[in-house]
Amino acid sequence: MNILIHPSYFPSISHFVAMAKADVVTFEMDDNFQKQTNRNRMFIYSPNGIQLLNIPIKHTKIAHQKTKEVQLETAFDWQKQHFKSLEAAYRSSPFFEYFEDTIHPIFEKKHKFLMDLNLETMELVSKCLKFEFDYNETTEYFFDINDKQDLRTLINGKKDVTQLERYTQVFGNKHGFINNLSILDLLFNEGRYALDYLKQQQL
């Protein structure tokens, strides 16, 4: 199975479910940037429940800017804030300390483009999962796709209705199970069992 999917910032679990089931992954590189999508945000499970971590981007007067041309706003220390939020959410999880040294450097690296950051977060998580996958990149945009399973809608969390099996979450006793968060939630809670979990889920 060949799938078409967006690179995103520490993607939702459903993204990695799709990738774990695919023979070949193709990344959409030629779409126009859309606000209020997971292109530049992720959701985690904080002590107070679901929390949005949003990456600030540089605003432009270009009406239809391609995602691969979107630059990160460096006037805010969002990276430090995001990592502190991850610490607050997952420091007591079973595997946070195991992966911390691998994950932390990306929050100190200064990326210029959102796409480069997104691709690196996905590569980083794949390394932690010990999950190797083949991928291609698009060279132009097509609205309709016939030769691949089009899963580009997964980038829009509101349209992603994937229902996942429950797993233990740090604050689950307080707020209950929260479905389909960032892949980091699964990684920090399930560790080496995360890849098996992904392969068992259905989209």
Using CA atoms, how far residue 97 sits from 62, 100, 104, 122, 178, in Å, is: 42, 5, 11, 19, 22
Using CA atoms, how far residue 197 sits from 22, 148, 157, 178, in Å, is: 15, 24, 20, 16
Report pLDDT digits (tens) over 39-60: 999 999 999 999 999 999 998 7
* CB-CB neighbours of 63 under 10 Å: 6
Report pLDDT digits (tens) over 138-150: 999 999 898 899 9
How far is residue 156's CA from residue 147's CA, in Å, rounded to a whole number? 22
pLDDT for the residue numbered 62:
74
Query: How sure is the predictor about 90, in pLDDT bands with cuts at 50, 70 and 90?
Result: very high
Q: Which two tokens stand for residue 55?
A: 């990456």
> Residue 164 pLDDT > 90, yes or no?
yes
Q: Which two tokens stand for residue 99?
A: 């992966």
Report pLDDT digits (tens) over 91-131: 999 999 999 999 999 999 999 999 999 999 999 999 999 99
Pick the closest to residue 44 from 149, 158, 186 (CA basis).
186
pLDDT for the residue numbered 193:
95
Q: Which residue has the tokens 């797993």?
A: 167
pLDDT for the residue numbered 81:
96
pLDDT for the residue numbered 160:
84
Q: Are 114 and 35 in contact (CB under 8 A)?
A: no
> Residue 83 pLDDT > 90, yes or no?
yes
Q: Which two tokens stand for residue 7?
A: 């690179």
**Domain carrying residue 169:** 2-200
pTM score of the predicted model: 0.95
> Residue 61 pLDDT > 80, yes or no?
no
For range 72-87, the mean pLDDT: 93
pLDDT for the residue numbered 39:
95
Total domains in the chain come to: 1
How far is residue 8's CA from residue 42's CA, in Å, rounded to a whole number? 9
